[in-house]
Structure 1
Amino acid sequence: MKVIHLISGGDSGGAKTHVLSLLKHLNRSITAQLICFRDGPFAEEARSLGIPTQIMNGNNVSHVCRQLSQHIQAEGFQVIHCHGSRANMIGALLRRRLQVPVVTTVHSDYKLDYLGRPLSRLTFGNINSWALRKLDYRIGVSDAMVDLLISRGFPADRFYTIYNGIDFTPTRVDEDRLEYLRSLGADVDEHSVVAGIAARLNPVKDMSTLIRGYAAAYRQCPNLRLVIAGDGEERQMLGKLAEELQVPVCFAGWISGGMDRFYHALDINCLTSLSETFPYALTEGARWKLATVATAVGGIPYLIDQDVNGFLFTPGDHEALGRALATLARDEQLRRDMGRRLYEKASTHFSIQNTVDTQLHIYEEVLRRYHRPKQKRDGAVICGAYGRGNAGDDAILEAILREMREIDPDMPITVLSKNPRDTRLTYRVQAVHRSNLFAWPRIMGRSKLYINGGGSLIQDVTSRRSLWYYLNNIATAKRRGCEVQMYGCGIGPILRENHKKLAADILNRYVDVITLREPDSLQELRAIGVSGPKILLTADPALTLPKADDDVVDSTMLKAGIPPHGRYICFALRHWKGFDARAACFGEAAEYAYRTYGLTPVFVSVEKHSDPSAAALAARDLKVPRYFLPDAGGAGSIIGVLSRMEVVVSMRLHALIFAAGQGVPLVGVVYDPKVSAFLRYIGQELFVDLERLSTDDLKAMIDRAVKLGENPDAQRQAVEKLREMESGNLREARELLNRTAEN
């Protein structure tokens, strides 16, 4: 593979480190040539690292483009990779001349690149903004950067994420840390706890917040010291601020001879930036196992798990920073533990080899997608109850997307969602609003497969309009030429006779395959007279989802104030007709579980908008400790949290599905037949109807669930069997896509 990298040649900081480190290691596997548009220290360092480097300078953009075009064609480069505004502009112009994919790495927020320089922002900033939208693919240096650009309207399915990686090979510094710090001008002794930062002194780094936070901590911990490595336009202002606050701050200037000596001398690593992608300063500190305090911006939260391997705070909140610094200054063991955990995560996930492997994978996928044969019809449309803040419904979407990418990793996918922006950000797919009637025919007319995506969509209990909506969608998709699959779904209840006839007519005429998540839905289909499509009993797609990593689960729980490794019973409740009259039963059962078995109740919200109020009502009169998790995030983190429970009591179907997959004993409270249908499907009999619920019922079922927890093998085996059956959803989708290709 041959890739040509374009860069201005005047770059510094993280972008420079990323490009040089990446190309140095890429050239061990592929040919990665660097083109700089000016000579100087950047190009000199690239040459010293053995990177093939060429200068194409001059202000005549047309001449540079011709020169580059000839060079790319003559040498047979397969990908053009741009870095920075000038390179993006050249890349956008080359894209019109050459049949070669053009990729850019976005190292920073282009709207902040020229902060404080209005003329440059007006010219170079606007040119870069135009060029970024003209390129084929974009790589964000952190998921947060990708999210930012998608939120600004860039196509969600044309992005990749890469993280700055470093070499975690152990290094050794023999120099005495106190002597080194004193050589920088720091007033330290053997009792000093030293916090430090390495960054440019400009507004984006927000050093004034650092000094104010340090001042707040210093008043509590006078042995705390702050060393700032770097220089910039705010140096004088920051010095005056330190004098006003009467705190000892060492301004060390730029550090020469590498940063190992600097990080080796610190106890705490700090970062106070208003905006970041994924800063090297944190992984450099992690390599030295430094306890870390940083703003929760950019990709930083992907490295730092709150209260697990570091502390995060909101930009500008110097009080929160001060509390974190004081906590670390007082507790040497905490510093050691957090530093060790940070090193373990960083060295596993953010090494230079991970970065190189990710970049190579991106090139392979870009080439594969770029040369994908053009087809009149391609990909899938997925429609369901998505974008409503319900973790169960969104888990179905996540599982279906995983399975579609297993069929074809480059498959174009469009999701009909109530919140297209959130869907694009979360799943990196194209999405349109479910009510955009003008978009439906266009999208369906160019897609191969329409998926009516999981859940109990064909029912009229919650809404008649939703039944009409999904049936109309199915009919429209078939008329527009799609193969139609109802995917791992539930059916019913359908109560009205006219709705039964309508549903049977639409499903018989317009659906090719129906895969069902439990036997009760099969009975419902037969009862209303559906026999036209191929019907197969499978399972809910959400059963296939894995739990998040342990450090993510720990952080999710700690953010809600929940110790990660306690003994817990979960309650996943929802408002439904009759719930208010039964809410006290849940509270009394929670108190019983705590006093009898030592299980602290945790009220988990699956639907983050309405479930918290149900939890609050149930826990209103509790006199024992309890916790609330109003928003656990995505399916992976919810599954991880539920895996920490000893019993799960749930009205929510997907809380039961998630917990069942982790072998956790279940108690179901049935507000809808789908809940009891699933529990019977896995051989679980601990459930009761909401309208007949009593405190004694719950207590008795909790007793039995606790005993089941001593031997969870039977439930695990049942769930494993369902996971095997779930593969039928994927198999049928693949056959429909192949059928379309053959036709």
Structure 2
Amino acid sequence: MKVIHLISGGDSGGAKTHVHMLLQNLCRTPGVEITMVCFMEGPFSEEARALGIPTVIFPGRNILRTYSALKKLIREGGYDIIHCHGARGNMMGALLRRATGLPVVTTVHSDYRLDYMGRPLSRATYGTINTLALRRLDYRIGVSDAMVDLLISRGFDPDRLFPIYNGIDFTPRTPSMSRGEYLASVGAHWPDDCVIAGIAARLNPVKDIPTLVRGFARAHERCPRLRLLIAGDGEQMNELKNLAASLGVKEEVCFAGWVSDVDSFYHALDINTLTSLSETFPYSLTEGARAGLPTVASRVGGVPYLIDHGVNGFLFEAQDYETLARHLAVLAEDATLRAHMGARLYQKGKNEYSLESTLQRQLDIYGVILRRAARPKTRRSGALVCGAYGRGNAGDDAILEAIVTELRQIDPDLPVWVLSRKPSETRLTYRVNSIYTFGFPKFLWRMSRTRLYINGGGSLMQDVTSHRSLWFYLFTISAAKILGNKVQMYGCGIGPIHDQSNRARAARVLQKRVDAITLRDTHSKEELADMGVTNPEIILSADPTVILPAAGEEVIDGVLENEGLDPDGRYIGFTLRPWPGFEEKAHIFGQAADYVWEKYGLTPLFLPIERRLDVAAAEKAAAHIQKAPCHILKNTGSSDHTIGLFARMQAVVSMRLHALVFSAGQGVPLVGVVYDPKISSFLSYIGQDLYTELENLTLEGLCAHIDAACARIGDTAFLSVGVDRLRQVERRNSEAAKKLLECEK
């Protein structure tokens, strides 16, 4: 593989470090040949040569001459990919794209709209040219997921975007000086038992060090042992010193100046901090992670992708020094919490943000680009997925995540489009193209270009909650088929459909317009038979969400700690939802929570699936708890966090199907409260017999079921049977999709 890199040659800072590090290591990779072209001679190119990077200079401002020379070099050199960096590289890449026929990719190191701030002429020329060129290139690599999110929000195709990070070498370092020696070298004469927070940054406005000083001063009032070490130089030095003096913390703040011994600096700290107003993904975060430091950082740019709030550090909104102060004080007062968070951050940094992972990520991106370039061009491509997405329901969102995951396992280059109530949010979360659910012209046009339409999981074929939603889904199925798609209903539930005219309409559409239906329970199969639907291939499978993994133990430990809960505690999970008849039964759940606390020592934990509804239901039940400590989570977070939380339960009592699915997939004993036949059908399907109808719910009956569930705690032989069956039959969902996609080739 031969790759030519185009860059101006005047770059500095993070972009310079990233390009030099990456190309130096790519040059050492067997089977990879790299050439870097700069458009000026200077320190950038000189350092590149010193690192062993083959570097060619094309000086001068004659664009046409440079273009012709580059075109000749690329054609004669037998290159496979053109990789651009910066405005001049992007402009030349856009010109060479058609002339060479090669795929062109660019790495976006910063927000291109801000690159020429304060330089109106350059912004009007280079900035405009760069903006236009970026739209004409084939692929874009964002330096951090946040940069990719920014590009997605500006309308760039998610299928042609890749994230990469500024990785560093996580090989253990031995600092040249001990903590005491380093502090003495910078004039910080502090007690041995002090807790030191620190930052390494340029002292300029974008880093917002004044917020750090103010937050530190407030935290120091609560924790007098706390100290602040600031490494860096810049125009705000005197202003910051005066601020520290005015806040009464002059002796507790040390300005270390420019630091060359980075290892000794970070090993002198107990807490790493970042207070920037804007960032892509700063090296100071990964350097702090390498030193095993918990981090308190502003929620900007790519920071939240490394710092999981409450797990390996804390996040605060930029300039909010009060929240920053609270987080600093909490860490300063708890050495165990610092150690746990620091260890988690080190592990995440080593796994995902190391030099090796950055290099491998770049090689993987090149592999994808070359694979796609070799694919034959066709008019129809991709899949369109429709379901109840973008409505804040963790179960529906998990269904979408599972479907997208399985489609990408079938074909990693398959373009995926999703109909969503919140298309912008869906684009960012799942990195797919998305259309507003009721944007009829757009999704009908897209249907004329895709190969597979998926009616995506859940109970979409029912008229209990709405007649109109049923009609809408039937319309989209018919339209997709008429416009040339294969049609699959994916891991779905059927019914209940009560209205006879709706049953007849649904039967006609499914019989005529659907190619394959994979079902998540036996009740749905019986419903189809009763409706007379026989023409599609009907396959009994499972809910697609059973394939989703739980977050790692250390992550869930952090989530629980952040909620003030003991990670080693023993819990019983309750997931409730408003439904006709629930309010009359709410007290039973509260009394059952007291019962299980007194008999088994299990703390009741209420876990919502649909936040908007379930938290209110939990509060009504919790109001009847008299003895047990209980906790209501307002938000369980992403799918892996939600599944990880259910995995920590000793048993689960749920009205929500997906709480049962998530728990079953983790081998947790279940008690179902049935408001809809899908609950009892699912539990019967996996061999679980502990459920009761909501209308028949009694305290005695619920407690008896809980007793039976608690008796199964640790009974892996019984619980694993249903779990293994679920995962085995779930494969039928993706197998059916693969078969339909292959029919269209």
Query: TM-score, normalising length from structure 2?
Result: 0.95
From the superposition, tell whether residues 128 and 236 of structure 1 become closer, same or farther in structure 2 (CA, over 3 Å). farther
1:254 is aligned with what amino acid? W
**Which residue does 2:587 correspond to in 1?**
584
1:400 aligns with 2:403: yes
- Measure the CA separation in 1 of the matches of 2:329 and 2:743: 65
2:45 is aligned with what amino acid? A
- CA contact under 8 A between 1:508 and 1:533: conserved in structure 2? yes
- Measure the CA separation in 2 of the matches of 1:182 and 1:132: 50
**Which residue does 1:600 correspond to in 2?**
603
Structure 1 residues 326-405: aligned runs within 5 Å: 326-405=329-408
- CA contact under 8 A between 2:574 and 2:652: conserved in structure 1? yes
1:737 aligns with 2:741: yes
**Which residue does 1:430 correspond to in 2?**
433
Any idea what the Cα deviations from partners look like across 1:45-102, whole Å, max 9, x if unmatched?
A: 2222111122233333343333322222222222222223332333333334331222
- Measure the CA separation in 2 of the matches of 1:429 and 1:12: 33
- CA contact under 8 A between 2:311 and 2:559: conserved in structure 1? no
From the superposition, tell whether residues 264 and 375 of structure 1 become closer, same or farther in structure 2 (CA, over 3 Å). same
41, 47, 64: which one pairs with 1:39?
Answer: 41
**Which residue does 2:303 correspond to in 1?**
300
- CA contact under 8 A between 1:178 and 1:189: conserved in structure 2? no
Further displaced range: 607-616 or 356-365? 607-616
668, 675, 689: which one pairs with 1:671?
Answer: 675
1:620 deviates by: 1.9
**Which residue does 1:701 correspond to in 2?**
705
Structure 1 residues 266-345: aligned runs within 5 Å: 266-345=269-348
2:364 is aligned with what amino acid? H
1:617 aligns with 2:616: no
1:476 is aligned with what amino acid? A
Structure 1 residues 6-155: aligned runs within 5 Å: 6-29=6-29, 30-115=32-117, 120-155=122-157
- Measure the CA separation in 1 of the matches of 2:725 and 2:333: 52
- CA contact under 8 A between 1:560 and 1:628: conserved in structure 2? no
1:438 deviates by: 0.9
Further displaced range: 551-560 or 400-409? 551-560
- CA contact under 8 A between 1:395 and 1:542: conserved in structure 2? yes
1:523 aligns with 2:493: no
**Which residue does 1:542 correspond to in 2?**
545
1:20 is aligned with what amino acid? H
689, 694, 699: which one pairs with 1:690?
Answer: 694
Any idea what the Cα deviations from partners look like across 1:114-172, whole Å, max 9, x if unmatched?
A: 45555555554444333333322122222222222212222222211112211112222
1:681 aligns with 2:685: yes
Any idea what the Cα deviations from partners look like across 1:517-548, whole Å, max 9, x if unmatched?
A: 11111111111111111212111111111112
- CA contact under 8 A between 1:663 and 1:713: conserved in structure 2? no
1:661 is aligned with what amino acid? G
1:715 aligns with 2:719: yes
2:655 is aligned with what amino acid? M
**Which residue does 1:637 correspond to in 2?**
641
1:213 aligns with 2:215: yes
227, 250, 257: which one pairs with 1:253?
Answer: 257
- CA contact under 8 A between 1:178 and 1:188: conserved in structure 2? no
- Measure the CA separation in 2 of the matches of 1:564 and 1:208: 36
Any idea what the Cα deviations from partners look like across 1:10-44, whole Å, max 9, x if unmatched?
A: 33332222221111111122122222333322222
Any idea what the Cα deviations from partners look like across 1:607-664, whole Å, max 9, x if unmatched?
A: 1222211111121232332111222122211110000001111111011001001000
- Measure the CA separation in 2 of the matches of 1:672 and 1:563: 34
1:16 is aligned with what amino acid? K
- Measure the CA separation in 2 of the matches of 1:292 and 1:286: 8
**Which residue does 2:461 correspond to in 1?**
458
- Measure the CA separation in 1 of the matches of 2:63 and 2:190: 54
1:542 is aligned with what amino acid? T
Q: Please state whether the residue corresponding to 2:517 is helix, strand or coil.
A: strand
- Measure the CA separation in 2 of the matches of 1:182 and 1:698: 66
1:376 deviates by: 2.1
2:201 is aligned with what amino acid? A
1:281 deviates by: 0.7
2:15 is aligned with what amino acid? A
Q: Please state whether the residue corresponding to 2:573 is helix, strand or coil.
A: strand
- CA contact under 8 A between 2:10 and 2:42: conserved in structure 1? yes
1:237 deviates by: 2.7
From the superposition, tell whether residues 190 and 580 of structure 1 become closer, same or farther in structure 2 (CA, over 3 Å). closer
- Measure the CA separation in 2 of the matches of 1:551 and 1:103: 36
**Which residue does 1:507 correspond to in 2?**
510
Further displaced range: 367-376 or 356-365? 367-376
Any idea what the Cα deviations from partners look like across 1:576-619, whole Å, max 9, x if unmatched?
A: 12112211211111122112211111111111222211111121
- Measure the CA separation in 1 of the matches of 2:610 and 2:392: 6
2:304 is aligned with what amino acid? P
- CA contact under 8 A between 1:295 and 1:313: conserved in structure 2? yes
Further displaced range: 71-80 or 236-245? 236-245
- Measure the CA separation in 2 of the matches of 1:362 and 1:250: 44
Any idea what the Cα deviations from partners look like across 1:361-406, whole Å, max 9, x if unmatched?
A: 0111012123321112222111111111111112111111122112
- Measure the CA separation in 2 of the matches of 1:381 and 1:394: 16
Q: Please state whether the residue corresponding to 1:171 is helix, strand or coil.
A: coil
- CA contact under 8 A between 2:666 and 2:723: conserved in structure 1? no
Any idea what the Cα deviations from partners look like across 1:557-583, whole Å, max 9, x if unmatched?
A: 344433333111111111112112211
Q: Please state whether the residue corresponding to 1:97 is helix, strand or coil.
A: helix
1:687 deviates by: 0.7
- CA contact under 8 A between 2:399 and 2:545: conserved in structure 1? yes
Further displaced range: 145-154 or 21-30? 145-154
- CA contact under 8 A between 2:344 and 2:554: conserved in structure 1? no
Q: Please state whether the residue corresponding to 1:501 is helix, strand or coil.
A: helix
**Which residue does 1:563 correspond to in 2?**
566
Further displaced range: 119-128 or 490-499? 119-128
Q: Please state whether the residue corresponding to 1:269 is helix, strand or coil.
A: strand
In the alignment, structure 1 segments of 5+ residues that lack a partner are none
In the alignment, structure 2 segments of 5+ residues that lack a partner are none
From the superposition, tell whether residues 110 and 186 of structure 1 become closer, same or farther in structure 2 (CA, over 3 Å). farther
Q: Please state whether the residue corresponding to 1:167 is helix, strand or coil.
A: coil
- CA contact under 8 A between 1:43 and 1:53: conserved in structure 2? yes
- CA contact under 8 A between 1:664 and 1:709: conserved in structure 2? yes
2:19 is aligned with what amino acid? V
Any idea what the Cα deviations from partners look like across 1:415-458, whole Å, max 9, x if unmatched?
A: 11222112111111111112111123321111111111111211
- CA contact under 8 A between 1:271 and 1:293: conserved in structure 2? yes
Q: Please state whether the residue corresponding to 1:451 is helix, strand or coil.
A: strand
**Which residue does 1:225 correspond to in 2?**
227
2:461 is aligned with what amino acid? I
Superposed CA RMSD: 2.1
Query: TM-score, normalising length from structure 1?
Result: 0.95
Matched pairs, number: 740
Q: Identity percentage over the alignment?
A: 57
1:331 deviates by: 4.4
- CA contact under 8 A between 2:144 and 2:165: conserved in structure 1? yes
1:348 deviates by: 2.4
435, 439, 446: which one pairs with 2:449?
Answer: 446
**Which residue does 1:158 correspond to in 2?**
160
**Which residue does 1:204 correspond to in 2?**
206
Further displaced range: 555-564 or 712-721? 555-564
Any idea what the Cα deviations from partners look like across 1:300-340, whole Å, max 9, x if unmatched?
A: 23322334332322211212222333344444454444333
